[in-house]
Structure 1
Amino acid sequence: MYDLIILGGGPAGYVAAERAGHKGLKVLLFEKNKMGGVCLNEGCIPTKTILYSAKTYENALHGDKYGVFGENIRFDFGKIMARKNKVVRKLVAGVESKMKMNKVTVVKGDAYINGRSQQGIEVSCNGEVYWGVNLLVCTGSEAFV
């Protein structure tokens, strides 16, 4: 029996789990993909990392305006993507580390709310059934189109 069950390991879910765990609650968090959610893995962070590389390249191309000169300025898309992947991996590892530090149980998979039972709120995932006193739904959103 968990004090708090959280569906979703994005920014809302993992921060709630971290704080609840820090306060001594027994927390269970379900995440169907990677910890950190869309922003960390596919949206904000990867996009800004790639954008920084693009701006660095653009600044190098126009460096002469600032008294900076270079020859044969080029970019390596493979290295840009490798750096993006490294940044994302490091941040995901940080989130996972926070879950461990705060004794949050993380289960990977699609979780389903079954309803209430005598044991509490019932949630199933990967063929297992879990019970909790409180439920927090932090599943984010998905584009319809």
Structure 2
Amino acid sequence: MGYDLIVIGGGPAGYLAAERAGHAGLNTLLIEKRFIGGVCLNEGCIPSKALLYSAKIYDGAAHGEKYGVSAKELHLDHSFVVERKNKVVNTLVSGIKSKLKKNKVTVVMAEAKITGRTAEGFTVSAAEQTYTG
């Protein structure tokens, strides 16, 4: 299968490059091994901040007396906190996927390997398929 551009890696640089290439009319393939959005969006920055915000709210309620706020019988619903974090991540990932689809970017979820070079560009193997671009 031939493409104008093959992007390996669906992190911030990769998905944005693929989106812009698709928007410019290039037949674009994005290959991602784990998850669209990369580590920051799925495992690092965003989930951490979502969890920290819940902790901040809890801490504020627990130590509010020094500001004239008292909260009795505090309870942290761990399942709800994790569910909220997952919703935040899923909303952002869905937005990226929507933009890729809107710009006609083909997405393959697999590990990619550059297998050669041709006059047209490179050959890339992923998900038991060979792509050129």
Please state if 1:114 is matched with 2:115: yes
Q: Distance in 1 between matches of 2:38 and 2:17?
A: 14
Partners of 1:120 and 1:13 in 2: CA distance: 18
Higher RCO structure (Cα 8 Å, ≥6 apart): 1
Identity among equivalent positions (%) equals 58
For residue 117 of structure 1, report the CA deviation from its aligned partner: 2.3
Q: Which secondary structure state, in structure 1, belongs to the residue aligned with residue 55 of structure 2? A: helix
Counterparts in 2 of 1:19-34, with a 5 A limit?
19-34=20-35
Q: Tell me by how many angstroms 1:120 deviates.
A: 2.8
Residue aligning to 1:131: 132
Over the residues paired in the alignment, what is the CA RMSD in angstroms? Answer: 1.0
Local SS of the residue matching 2:17: helix
Choose between structure 1 and 2: higher strand proportion: 1
Residues 24-82 of structure 1: CA distance to partner in whole angstroms, max 9, x if unpaired? 11110001111101011100000110010111100011122222221101211111111
Question: 2:77 maps to which residue?
Answer: 76
**Secondary structure in structure 1 of the residue aligned to 2:35:** coil
**C-alpha deviations, 1:76-125, integer Å up to 9, x for none?**
11111111111111111111101001110000101110121244310011
Structure 1 gaps of 5+ residues are 133-145
- Structure 1 length as normaliser, TM-score? 0.87
Give the equivalent residue in structure 2 for 1:62. Answer: 63
Which sits farther off after the overlay, 7-16 or 109-118?
Answer: 109-118
- Code of the residue aligned with 2:122 in structure 1: it is I
Counterpart of 1:101?
A: 102
SS of match in other structure, 2:125? strand
TM-score (norm 2): 0.95
State how far apart, in whole Å, the 2-side matches of 1:42 and 1:130 are: 29
Counterpart residue number, 1:137: none
Aligned pair count?
A: 132
1:141 equivalent in structure 2: none
